Structures are given as C-alpha cells and as structure tokens.
Chain A
Amino acid sequence: MGMTMTQKILAAHAGKDRVEAGDLILVNLDLVLGNDVTAPVAIAEFEKLGQTEVFDKQKVTMVMDHFTPNKDIKAAAQCKLCRDFCADKDIEHFYDVGEMGIEHALLPEKGLVIAGDAVIGADSHTCTYGALGAFATGVGATDMACGMATGKAWFKVPSAIKFELVGELQGYASGKDVILYIISQIGVDGALYKSMEFTGDGARSLSVSDRLCIANMAIEAGAKNGIFEVDEKTLDFIAAHSDRKPVVYAADPDAVYDETHIIDLAAIVPWVAFPHLPENGRPVDEAGDVPIQQVVIGSCTNGRLEDMIVAAEILKGRKVAKGVRAIIFPATQKIWLEAMELGLLKIFVESGCAVSTPTCGPCLGGHMGILTKGERAVATTNRNFVGRMGHPESEVYLASPAVAAASAITGKISHPRDVV
C-alpha cells in the first residue's frame, strides 16, 4: 500500500521508511512559526520548560501581523514580549512593522518554506505552504512552545482526500472560487483530520498564487493540511526565493485515498460564501440583491501581487460606490512596493479605496475596518463566522478579489463582468 505526498513527508521527517494513516509519530520540524497573538502564549509556555535556548535559531520565526501596527496598549505589550524574546534568543527571522507582512504571504516570499519541509505554525492558516509541496499545519501555542524547545511535534498520520483538477480556469474565475466551491461541496468538516491533496493537469495549470490561496483555505474544510504536487512552477518559485534545495515527494501510484473528487476548473464560476460559514457558497450570479457597506481586499488568502493586479484592472477608471468603504491591504512590504511601482496604489486611491499597510487587522475583527451591527462586507478573507469582522450581527461574504472589486463599484455583491 503506497503513501500519499503528506505521508511521505511525515515518514521522512520521523525517520521512518513508511507510515500509515492513524500512526502516531514524532516529526522533526524545519520551521516553527508564531505571530503577535499566539507567540506570547507560546513564550509563556516555553519559559515553563526552563530551557534557555530555542532548538535552532534559524528555524523559529515570529511575524508581528495580527494587531499591528499596534492597535492598543495591550497589543503593543504582546509585540514587545515577542520582540524581546527573539532578541534574547538571537532569533534572526523576527519580522516587525516596516519589514513584515501577513505571515503566510511573507514566509514563501522570504524563502523560509520550500518543498519537502515540515512546518508548524501557531496560526490555523499555516496550511498555506502546502502550495509549495511542504507539509504545513496549524497548531496551538503549546505545540509552538514545545516545537521551539525540541524541534519536534507529535502527529497522527492523516488519511487523504484527492482532488484531481482538470481543465483550466476561465474568465474571472480564480483559485479563491475553486476553494470556495470545493468547501461548498464537502462542507466545513468535509476533510476533518485529513490531507487535501491537489493533483492533475488542472492543478499544474494554476499559478503559484492561486495554489497558495487554495491551500490556505484547506483548514476551512477542517483539513490537517492541503498540498499540491510539485512541478516546474513550484520549483521556479522556490528558486526565485530561496537558496535551499527543495525535496520533492510525489504520491505513490498505489497511494490510498478516502475519496477522490474530480473538479473541472473550466466549470468554476465566481463564487461567494454567505454568512456564517465558508460552506454557504453559491455562484455570484445567484447572490441576489445584497447591498454592502465595506469591501476588504487583502489577507493571507488574497493579498498577493496577483490579487492586487486583478483588483486594479477592475477598479481602474471607476469609482467605489457612495456608502461603501473599500480597504485594500497588500499583504507584505514587498507586495506594497511592487503595487506602488506598477501604479496600482494610484488606481486604488483614485477610485476611492483606502490603501493600508500590511496587517491581518479586519480579517479577524481586530482593527482597521471593523463592522457595526447590521453592516455587511464582501471580503477576500477566509472566514465569515458570526462576529468575525466585528459586531455579532454584522455579516461577511467571502469572495475573490475580482468579485470584491466589482462589488465595491456597484455597492452590492456583483459579478465582475457586470461592471467592466
């Protein structure tokens, strides 16, 4: 019985020739990640271990992205705790305001994750790095603390669901629409405890940016991780960002999957997930008349340069509707600079959008775009739970950058074709 991509990476990192779904193993980690919300808890737990050093100064990273630039005094104290800890432990990969970005956009850009790595992050969207052929999964602060101390984490080896992608995306359809469609089909616990493994010609046709978006939301189907087969596009991306040599793990031909889904990318249309679960999706054309007060374009899901370009193409020469606050968050300093050099920021500002420094802020209802009672937002973020962007009686509709930009112009959930 063969192994899946995920099982092969886990076996190699546990020093085993083979593993099977259900095995409990101790895995050697290539990277341990935390942010300004989760790392403070992990640091407190780390201190309890009585250890003076982290297991590897190069393999621990902290990114100050959630409540930064510091939203209040308490948030400032949490960042200071992380900053002081990283200085004390001589941790090189500490990213503060001015050099940071949203963690899951930043780490691939910095070359800190490559194919074949095993990564844990105290942030649920750590699964993003599966797009690069790594095993990456979200954990809590105690796992992060123990990972920082020992360089290891325990895992139950997951079984897998295979998504064989065929065809190519058409028109305004994007990676975001693919993953929202898949979650609407399998549900928010459709991949609970499992790997989502993406293969096929359709997967190879997707840009690395689209793959990052899809893997990012594997957690929204309950998955342990999402992972794409490594191909030339992956290797080119890694070579452009890292000097490390990737290790490519392909699934065995006789790997066992719990389910196989064939997804025709050519049939994917712009999609929107209604409140209050990412599984409440439907085609934008079936959204009906839903007036909105805010649009958020950004986040670890859709804040990359490709997302900025798509939004700018739709917003160029058009105006954000009266009564709509459109806020755009390039996900990293580098993306911000590139968006400026390409003239995208000018397009955004001229259309009536606010452009922010990178932050997770509004995605989790932290700051920089909070909704009050009864308000609705179209957001390119990843969760639309009750109260996610503010008041418990506000609403978040999840969509792609193209749909979000179009909706900003019309003031209601809109298909991009209806505005361009």
Chain B
Amino acid sequence: MKFQGTVIKYGDNVDTDVIIPARYLNTFDKKELASHCMEDLDATFTSRVKAGDIMVAGENFGCGSSREHAPIAIAESGISLIIAKSFARIFYRNAINIGLAILECPAAAEAIAEGDAVSADLDNGIITNLTTGATYQTAPFPAFIQSIISNGGLIESIKSGAIG
C-alpha cells in the first residue's frame, strides 16, 4: 500500500482524550466523532485536514484510553497514515484492527516538518520526504499483522478464517 500526502505534525504523548474528548463518546457515529477530532489539542485540525493527509507525531502516540473512537475519528477525518516515533500499545492494536495505516519511525518522525509532502510504502517500509528529498527505512510489520491488514482488518480476518 502506498500513501502520499501533506503532513500535519504534533509532539509527544498525544493522548486519546485530546484525539477525541470523552464528552463526545456518547456516540460512535464516525462523522460526528471526526467533527471533534483533535479539538482539545488543535482547534484548527478539522478545518484544515484534507483527505490523504499524513499525521506525524512523537513518542507514545495515542496513549491513555482504549477508545477505538480515537483511530476511527482520525481515519474518518481523512488522515491516510500516521507516522510516529512510537505508539501506545492499545492505539497500535486498534489502528491495525480497523485498518488505519501506521508506521513507527523515530528518524522520520523527528525530521519531517509540518506542511512537508511525504510518501510512504507500507510494503517495503520506505518513507520519502518529497519536500526535502530525505528517505527513511522502517522495519516491516510482522507477517501476522500484515495478514490482518491485507485481510482488511481483524473482523475480515476472522470472517475469512485467517484467524480463529
């Protein structure tokens, strides 16, 4: 899978409470969740995000609550891929399980700047900063996780008999 988009960048420890505040968790309507995405951290996010944009962040992205509403809100807002130095483990699982692409790459997450144009190829793990020309190599997902992604998420993996 290949991605290309403009970068929206955040710092370390972006928690699920700022990705989607709990006051909006009385619904799981994707569009309603997306309309409040990132609002306590960046009130401009929903007005400037474009379909295909790439989110870049620091350490421990998605820490805190297990709410799957967080990756759902980000995916529905149009973000195609998140590149971070590291992900909190429940967010990491949830993103894979719902089919939101993520890549862990400290060097890329450090160097890429807000507004850069970036491309990424999940198959070979190569991230390219089209603005600066720099490239970064990440470790590929384990085969088991690749199979979940290629099956379209955990639900489809179970339906197809790949897991369970």
Contact = CB atoms under 8 A, between A and B. Distances in A.
A390 to B, nearest CB: 8
Contact of A78 (B26, B64, B67, B90): B26
Contacts of A75: 26
B17 A189 contact: no
Contact of B97 (A49, A142, A277, A387): A142
Contacts of B26: 67, 71-72, 74-75, 78
Contacts of B41: 386
Contacts of B17: 364-365, 383, 385-388
B154 interface: yes
B111 interface: no
Contact of B25 (A37, A124, A146): A37
B90 A139 contact: yes
B93 A222 contact: no
A149 interface: yes
Contact of B88 (A142, A192, A383, A385): A192
B159 A140 contact: no
Interface string A326-349: 000000000000000000000000
Contacts of B129: none
A41 B71 CA distance: 13
B134 interface: no
Contact of B65 (A74, A124, A143, A154): A124
A410 to B, nearest CB: 28
Interface in A204-233: 219, 222, 224
Contact of A392 (B22, B28, B40, B142): B40
Contacts of A364: 17, 22, 65
B163 A154 contact: yes
A141 interface: yes
A124 B15 contact: no
Given A49-B155, A189-B88, A387 B66 contact: no
B164 to A, nearest CB: 4
Given A26-B163, A365-B21, A388-B17, A140 B93 contact: yes
Contacts of B144: 24, 154
Given A222-B60, A366-B22, A146 B68 contact: no
B63 A387 contact: no
Nearest to B97: A142
A75 B24 CA distance: 10
B158 interface: yes
B66 A385 contact: no
A188 B60 contact: yes
Interface of B: 13, 15, 17-18, 21-23, 25-28, 40-41, 59-60, 63-69, 71-72, 86, 88-90, 93-94, 97-98, 142, 144-145, 153-155, 158-159, 163-164
Q: Which 9 A-B pairs have the closest CB atoms?
A: A140-B94, A74-B26, A140-B68, A142-B97, A189-B60, A364-B22, A387-B40, A141-B68, A124-B66
